[in-house]
Chain A
């Protein structure tokens, strides 16, 4: 019988199943970071349990660490304690830890793929909702809570109920200037932030196939913002080419053997899904969020909503409260919204291709005088090195951007990279929740090219009419 990729991965990882109970699923790869793991290790210690397979877990520090000078210890005592705790826990358990100064350090969802730790057909979990990113490789990957982190450390499995499957097919070709970020924001705008709840999504269609691995990671990354824990893309030639030569691939197999194994995970041509959604890539425009939930999104040609036009009372009040928080009126054209901060980074958009696109827009231009801060934060040390080798750091610096050390940074603002109350930020991150980038801060989610353009003009600008220098 024809199977989709989720069905194949589920079947291959089933350790135990009884009718009426959750199934036990084997976990191939477990990533941990400093914020959601300390209580899990403490739980193990209290119960007298050991880490079952320490070599299948990899740790990094990303959420809390400074993106400025790292030659001195972390100034914030609590952040420092969290990082030290991670290091000590990993040492005790025998888990590899890419600490702040390690050359392979970076955002967990950037380094997993870049090191080849992420592979097609795997089950991957991490105490971080954006673990869905790894689905771009045809892995079943999703976020878990800290109790589940402890469960995976103790048993190398997860207790889970089988999900329903949703296909989101994006047909046709993306117009110039429209990116993977715009695809996923348009999808969330269409199905809503709870549209994927209870489902695992597979993204299919010509426009998805045409994306690079970086682009696919951006789409899968924000699957969680549509309510689905996991989003996958079946592996193809693009996936296999990206993976060849990565340091953590199995050493005992040739590229040809690996290609054969990986390609076999792809959904069968005649497989079915519980539900399907279809979008036309040609109709997608550059997207900008206007509110405090990723579903509150419109195109660069759009306007903020008019409350009287929203029929549902809860939705209307929600939009009203979002407009108030965002300091925006009704029916305001997006191109009239001015920003004073720009953030290019996060596990959504901090990979080399993202930085190339942002640099292409910034090249030869200057950050607008009305912009108080424009940050570029690469996703990993390796991304940073690559960008510097290509001279992208110079392009950003000459334009007036700050070029930082890698980390999660202003995506969630746990370090010093924080918006002040009233700041309005064009951000390439994934969440525009109230206070996400700092209490009272206002976040508009956009693609790297759109963020870069906003830095230059000081307002949201249609990238399709950009003057590239």
Chain B
């Protein structure tokens, strides 16, 4: 896993409730056996017109001003539905390093952590205000400081957030979960012996 302490980037808005992982990456792209190369399929059915090639101008994120975005601003229950890890793989491959939302679906949240994408939960009112600011200011950027658990807006305002300390440490240090668990391999073996499994 990559190490993540500070992030800075352009913010792109995705104004929809309950964005499911079928929208983040539709099923026709799940047939590959690789972990990489999913970025071009991100939000595919929303990003492109029916020909699958022409960008749909009605999809807000397609605007030129969001082309280099690396922070996604989203709404309630982001990432619900299918457990497909192809969703964070697609977000990551497209260039997103963090997602901001009032709430995330459980499995998607874990999948983000396992792919060094920072899921930031903020109160709904803060998210709504960020939507307004992002739309009002071209090139709107946020600085994310993971150890300090703060976002800094272009005006210098600091917004606090909370991320579970264990998950935060994992992101900051780039710790792979399997490696962490295997430090306790003796306990797994002891469990198996005690339970006869």
Contact = CB atoms under 8 A, between A and B. Distances in A.
B80 A193 contact: yes
B149 interface: no
Nearest to A28: B197
A64 B31 CA distance: 8
A159 B181 contact: yes
A79 interface: yes
A15 B184 contact: yes
Contact of A194 (B15, B45, B77, B192): B77
A147 B114 contact: yes
B157 interface: no
Given A82-B33, A147-B115, A434-B22, A197 B106 contact: yes
B59 interface: no
Given A81-B33, A145-B83, A434-B45, A194 B181 contact: no
Contacts of B50: 421, 439-440
A16 B194 CA distance: 14
Interface residues of B, number: 52
B85 to A, nearest CB: 4
Task: Report which residue of B23, B82, B84 has the largest number of chain A beta carbons within 10 angstroms of its beta carbon.
Answer: B82
Given A49-B178, A78-B32, A161-B164, A436 B188 contact: no
Interface in B2-32: 15-18, 20, 22-23, 26-28, 30-32
Nearest to A151: B178
Contacts of B163: none
Interface in A18-33: 20-22, 24, 26, 28
B85 A82 contact: no
Contacts of B188: 15, 24, 26, 52, 155-157
B173 interface: no
Contacts of B81: 129, 224-225, 431, 433
Contacts of B164: 161
A194 B16 CA distance: 14
A193 B77 contact: yes
A145 B181 contact: no
A47 interface: yes
A150 interface: yes
Nearest to A84: B33
Contacts of A64: 31
Nearest to A434: B23
B177 to A, nearest CB: 5
A155 B178 contact: yes
Interface string A46-79: 0101001100100000011000000000001011
Q: Which 3 A-B pairs have the closest CB atoms?
A: A147-B114, A78-B31, A38-B33
Given A129-B81, A229-B107, A314-B17, 15 more contacts: A26-B195, A38-B33, A76-B31, A79-B31, A82-B31, A143-B107, A150-B178, A154-B178, A156-B188, A159-B180, A194-B77, A197-B77, A293-B20, A314-B76, A412-B22
